[in-house]
Amino acid sequence: MKTIKTTVIFLSMLLSCMAIAQSERYALFNGEDLEGWNKVGDAEWRIRDGVLMADDEGGTTYLYTKESYDDFLLTLEFWVDHPANSGVFIRCSDAENIGDQTCYEVNIFDQRPDPTYRTGGIVGVAPILANLDTGGRWNTYEIRFEGDHMEARINGILTAEGSDSKLLSGPIALQYGSGIVKFRNVNIKPL
C-alpha cells in the first residue's frame, strides 16, 4: 500500500513538473549572439545592448530558428522607423526560400501600399482589425498559433485573427526588408 501511495505521489509530482515546463516561456534570442538562428540574405544583423538590429540596404534578409515550432505563443518587442518593411514569418516550410507563400507572414509594414495586410495583419489570411502605426517606438507583438487558428496582438490590441491549415509546423523567421528594424525580448511559450 505504501508503494502505491509513493508511486501516485511521484507520478503527480512528475505530471505537475511536466505541465509547468510546457507552460514556461523561453528565449529564442538570448540578447548576446545568434545561437539558434540561421541567416538567408545579405543584410547585416548586429547586436547592441541586447537588441538585434539591421539597417543597411543589403536586400531582404531573414534570420530563422534552427528549430521548428507548431503550437505556441510568441512574444517579442520590435522597433522600426516609419518607412521600414519587416515581419515575423511563422511555420516556414522552406527555410531557404522564406516568403508569404512558404510561411505565414505577420507583417510589420506601416506604409504598405495595399493596407489590407499592413502592420498587424497576417498576409493572405487575416486582414488587419486595427490600424496601428508603430514607427519610431518600441511595440510588443503577441503572436499565437494553435492548430489552424492564428491571431496577432500589438500592444495588447487584437490586430488580426484567422484560420488556415496549409502550414502546421516550421521555423520562425525575423525579416529585414528596408529601413531600420530592431527586435528584443523574443520569447516563445509552447502550447
- Sorted by sequence, the CB contacts under 8 Å of residue 172 that are 6+ apart come out as 28, 64, 65, 69, 74, 88, 89, 90, 91, 92, 188
**pLDDT of res. 5:** 53
Which residue's entry shows cell 510568441? 74
62, β-bridge pairs:
40, 175
The arithmetic mean of pLDDT across residues 123-144, rounded, is 98
Q: Say how far apart CA 137 and CA 135 lie, in whole Å.
A: 6
The overall average pLDDT reported for the chain is 91
The arithmetic mean of pLDDT across residues 18-42, rounded, is 84
| 184 pLDDT above the threshold of 80 | yes
| Among the listed residues 74, 78, 67, the one whose alpha carbon sits nearest the alpha carbon of residue 144 | 74
| 146 pLDDT above the threshold of 80 | yes
The arithmetic mean of pLDDT across residues 3-9, rounded, is 49
| 8 pLDDT above the threshold of 70 | no
**pLDDT of res. 57:** 75
Q: Higher confidence at residue 84 or residue 23?
A: 84
- Sorted by sequence, the CB contacts under 8 Å of residue 128 that are 6+ apart come out as 115, 116, 117, 118, 119, 120, 121, 159, 160
What grid cell was written down for 163?
484560420
The arithmetic mean of pLDDT across residues 133-147, rounded, is 98
pLDDT tens readout for residues 41-91: 999 999 999 999 998 778 999 999 999 999 999 999 999 999 999 999 999
Residues 185, 76 contacting (CB under 8 angstroms)? yes
| 160 pLDDT above the threshold of 60 | yes
**pLDDT of res. 4:** 56
The arithmetic mean of pLDDT across residues 137-164, rounded, is 98
φ, ψ of residue 20 in degrees (nearest 5): -65, -45
Residue 183: alpha-carbon gap to chain centroid: 10
Domains of the chain plus CATH, in order, are: 28-190 (2.60.120.560)
- Amino acid in position 89: F
CB count in 10 Å sphere of residue 83: 12
